[in-house]
A and B are shown apart, each in its own frame.
Chain A
């Protein structure tokens, strides 16, 4: 019954979205505030209706209502509650509902905004309504999460165990809050084109939406990256996988948008480019959703669904993005863009930032799509992998980071580069020291990585120098410095934080990539292996039971060079009976900045190799590795600690070789890897701090209000 009510609510939301678009368009055309008011009401109603549908789906998952197809395919009674809830957006259908929830939610907030001028708001609410109708229509007709099964199964198929993870439970909501946040910017951009007016006030209005979307997207991508890092068990945090790229492209474009919107807001320049980015960011978000959900790309995060839906999603992408870009091509030439600035100026620096970010987006876009295009055109499948992305992307982002501190110190309109560089002498010195020290002290030597470290230091100290400059540190009396520090707008703090964040990330990425260490050995009980300065000793292995899995858990003692205990690592191999999948549980021993990362691999029966892992393989080891792994899992090993009565999965344990079994242990030392995740989080924090800026809270400053006066009089 609740499901039917949810179903009804979703259909109602579709109708309300259409009404939202219709009323707003009619109201805009007739300049009738009652009609546009009805459109705004419909926008809020659509959100409420979608929220009800979403609540119904959550309810179905929590109560394990397997008569709902989506629940039967993605849930299981034995799954912990948090993953039952997260399962609601773990599937394609559920994630589309989450998407629509965000889309109507942002739309409702925009509809409630009071300070937007009449025409712009009506057009934007109409655009948002059209977007809502497209996506909700797709969900209701082609991808309905609340469809029933004629004959419900007794038990569900469960969620992919790799997805049963706290970081991944939170990853899609943040990611979608980011993706879909750009929909408001898209709508406001389309509305600005319709109204034929892009001014500093408009740039100010898109700022909070851009900041919110960008911050959420940053958090979402970081969570996804962290999930891949500790869940996939390969020790890396970014693989340039198509699905990762799909989320990275809107982020890059959103970053460009934040910077170009600053130029439009302060100087009225780059108006048409900012509008194009506003349309582009959501276009890339939709494309990301299409690429991920249509299954056209080969990715480790395989979400493959049936191609018919892919075609529909492509259609939606074509209509929405095509509409936005056509509108742009038609109306953008009418936008005025008169502000002058010298190439060496804040505007010029932000322009350079945008050129490089646009080129970086092009790298990711072309690299992700070319394999598809090539195989469609001439049938030659090619691969574009990490080696291409690392070099090309690095070549574009490095100059952007080199220019960043100086650009932030240039004055608007016409800057004085030598003066800006003079203020950066401390940062330059620190960077030079960092490069020299890294190059001479860290082995094996790597000039490239040393330069990466130098770049990170340069950006961090540059951001601090810029903040010091703002508060006139060492130049004015302390009292004045204090007054200025307190008076500094949150937006300025946010910018400083975000720039420090990218510097921190550069430090971590350079160091980790260049100097991570790896070791793999087949260890018998009590044997040790060495990794960097650490010693790992396999203490024991036990068979244990989780809520919905059976695990073979290794207990490994990690000690540092002085023999002090670092941690007891407990990596495991889990067999999820519901889906029949085996997953490695990674154990991570964190230090201040580093991780010791341990994965336990397959068990090998037979004679123990001498000296902690020689070249020979014993009896069971000659089996194909997966079969051996399963054999190992099904075998209740001798002396195992049994927590719960073991449900016998398969036959009796094999009798031979148990006493000399070895376990493949793989370990990584990932130095400074915490910077890799902390950097983006600092950036997101910067975005959120900016978002709390008083000038944004009150939406319009006196100056902007003055700029608005003609529009209001219209």
Chain B
């Protein structure tokens, strides 16, 4: 029994393969509710796994969490209520989508800042660089011919 238990633990801790999310034995009777529960699963972290949602994980805890979410879906609680319940129990860590807060703002502002600085650089560049005198159509055609022959 000892050996069996130990192997079982290793199994649970190391592999945790694949989704038991759709295990027929656990499903909700109502297919719409079940589908809804599964969209919620994808946003809930399996806390004991490395980096998986409870939709993907086979860990016993993930199954418990799934049953918890299913029960609340069946009771007709809203998504926000279910998420709030999970957060009150397990903390922000349990949700895979970080909530919009001051501490998390950099997640969206950081990339935006990169774009803003880049676009600003492109525009100011135009201002400082002297605009070359416009070419007449003949020159334009010659230039186009040249630049087309000049391949990457």
Q: How would residues 51 to 88 of chain A score, 1 for a CB under 8 Å from any chain B CB and 0 otherwise? A: 00000000000000000000000000000000000000
| Cβ–Cβ < 8 Å partners of B15 in chain A | 162, 581-584
Task: Give A374 to B92 CA distance when docked, in angstroms.
Answer: 11
Interchain CB contact under 8 A, B152 and A630: no
| Cβ–Cβ < 8 Å partners of A351 in chain B | 118, 122
Contact check: which of B53, B93, B118 meets A359 at CB < 8 Å?
B118
Judged by a CB distance under 8 angstroms, whether A626 is at the interface is yes
Judged by a CB distance under 8 angstroms, whether B23 is at the interface is yes
Interchain CB contact under 8 A, B147 and A412: yes
Q: Given the known A-B contacts A411-B143, A582-B15, are A354 and B118 also in contact in the complex, defined by CB atoms under 8 Å?
A: yes
| Cβ–Cβ < 8 Å partners of B118 in chain A | 351-352, 354-355, 358-359
Interchain CB contact under 8 A, A625 and B58: yes
Residue of B at shortest CB range from A411? B147
Q: Which residue among B7, B60, B104, B150 has the maximum number of chain A CB atoms within 10 Å of its CB?
A: B7
Judged by a CB distance under 8 angstroms, whether B89 is at the interface is no
Q: How would residues 110 to 152 of chain B score, 1 for a CB under 8 Å from any chain A CB and 0 otherwise? A: 1110110011001100100111100000000001100110111
* Closest CB in chain B relative to A271 CB, distance in Å: 13
Judged by a CB distance under 8 angstroms, whether A34 is at the interface is no
* Closest CB in chain A relative to B49 CB, distance in Å: 8
Task: Give A134 to B19 CA distance when docked, in angstroms.
Answer: 43
| Cβ–Cβ < 8 Å partners of A370 in chain B | 98, 104, 106-107
Interchain CB contact under 8 A, B51 and A242: yes
Q: How would residues 350 to 369 of chain A score, 1 for a CB under 8 Å from any chain B CB and 0 otherwise? A: 01101110111011001100
Task: Give A664 to B97 CA distance when docked, in angstroms.
Answer: 30
| Cβ–Cβ < 8 Å partners of A614 in chain B | 24
Q: How would residues 40 to 54 of chain B score, 1 for a CB under 8 Å from any chain A CB and 0 otherwise? A: 001101000111110
| Cβ–Cβ < 8 Å partners of A582 in chain B | 7, 11, 15
Interchain CB contact under 8 A, B103 and A380: yes
Task: Give A614 to B24 CA distance when docked, in angstroms.
Answer: 7
Contact check: which of A266, A298, A384, A615 meets B25 at CB < 8 Å?
A615
Residue of B at shortest CB range from A623? B8
Q: Given the known A-B contacts A266-B152, A518-B22, are A382 and B17 also in contact in the complex, defined by CB atoms under 8 Å?
A: no
Judged by a CB distance under 8 angstroms, whether B96 is at the interface is yes
Task: Give A387 to B42 CA distance when docked, in angstroms.
Answer: 8
Task: Give A625 to B97 CA distance when docked, in angstroms.
Answer: 29
Task: Give A455 to B58 CA distance when docked, in angstroms.
Answer: 36
| Cβ–Cβ < 8 Å partners of B42 in chain A | 386-387
Task: Give A59 to B27 CA distance when docked, in angstroms.
Answer: 53
| Cβ–Cβ < 8 Å partners of A233 in chain B | 17-18
Q: How would residues 163 to 189 of chain A score, 1 for a CB under 8 Å from any chain B CB and 0 otherwise? A: 000000000000000000000000000
Q: Given the known A-B contacts A352-B122, A630-B8, are A359 and B60 also in contact in the complex, defined by CB atoms under 8 Å?
A: no
9-residue interface stretch from A120-128, A311-319, A487-495? A487-495
Interchain CB contact under 8 A, A387 and B58: no
| Cβ–Cβ < 8 Å partners of A302 in chain B | 50
For this complex, into which size category does the number of interface residues on chain B fall?
A: 35 or more
Interface residues in A565-588 by Cβ distance below 8 A to B read 579-584
Interchain CB contact under 8 A, B43 and A387: yes
| Cβ–Cβ < 8 Å partners of A362 in chain B | 110-111, 114
Residue of B at shortest CB range from A265? B152
Judged by a CB distance under 8 angstroms, whether A241 is at the interface is yes
Interchain CB contact under 8 A, B110 and A624: no
Contact check: which of A355, A385, A584, A599 meets B115 at CB < 8 Å?
A355
Task: Give A650 to B50 CA distance when docked, in angstroms.
Answer: 30
Q: Which residue among B11, B91, B93, B131 has the maximum number of chain A CB atoms within 10 Å of its CB?
A: B11
Judged by a CB distance under 8 angstroms, whether A329 is at the interface is no
Interchain CB contact under 8 A, B96 and A387: yes
Interface residues in A358-400 by Cβ distance below 8 A to B read 358-360, 362-363, 366-367, 370, 374, 378, 380-388, 392, 396
Contact check: which of B4, B12, B103, B106 meets A650 at CB < 8 Å?
B4
Interchain CB contact under 8 A, A384 and B98: yes
Judged by a CB distance under 8 angstroms, whether A239 is at the interface is yes
Judged by a CB distance under 8 angstroms, whether B5 is at the interface is yes
| Cβ–Cβ < 8 Å partners of A242 in chain B | 51
Interchain CB contact under 8 A, B98 and A383: yes
Q: Can you add 15 more A-B contacts, CB < 8 Å, to A470-B148, A584-B17?
A: A235-B18, A298-B51, A300-B51, A351-B118, A355-B118, A358-B114, A370-B107, A380-B92, A382-B103, A384-B107, A387-B96, A488-B151, A582-B7, A617-B25, A625-B60
- Residue numbers of A with Cβ under 8 A of B are 160, 162, 232-236, 239, 241-242, 262, 266, 298-302, 340-343, 348, 351-352, 354-356, 358-360, 362-363, 366-367, 370, 374, 378, 380-388, 392, 396, 411-414, 469-470, 488-489, 491-492, 495, 518-522, 579-584, 599, 601, 609, 613-617, 621, 624-627, 629-631, 634, 650, 664, 666
Q: Which 6 A-B pairs have the closest CB atoms?
A: A385-B96, A355-B118, A520-B22, A340-B129, A233-B18, A359-B114
Ordered by A's residue number, 16 sampled pairs between the chains whose C-beta atoms are within 8 Å are A234-B19, A235-B18, A241-B51, A302-B50, A343-B122, A352-B118, A370-B106, A383-B95, A383-B98, A388-B107, A411-B143, A518-B22, A520-B20, A522-B23, A626-B8, A631-B4
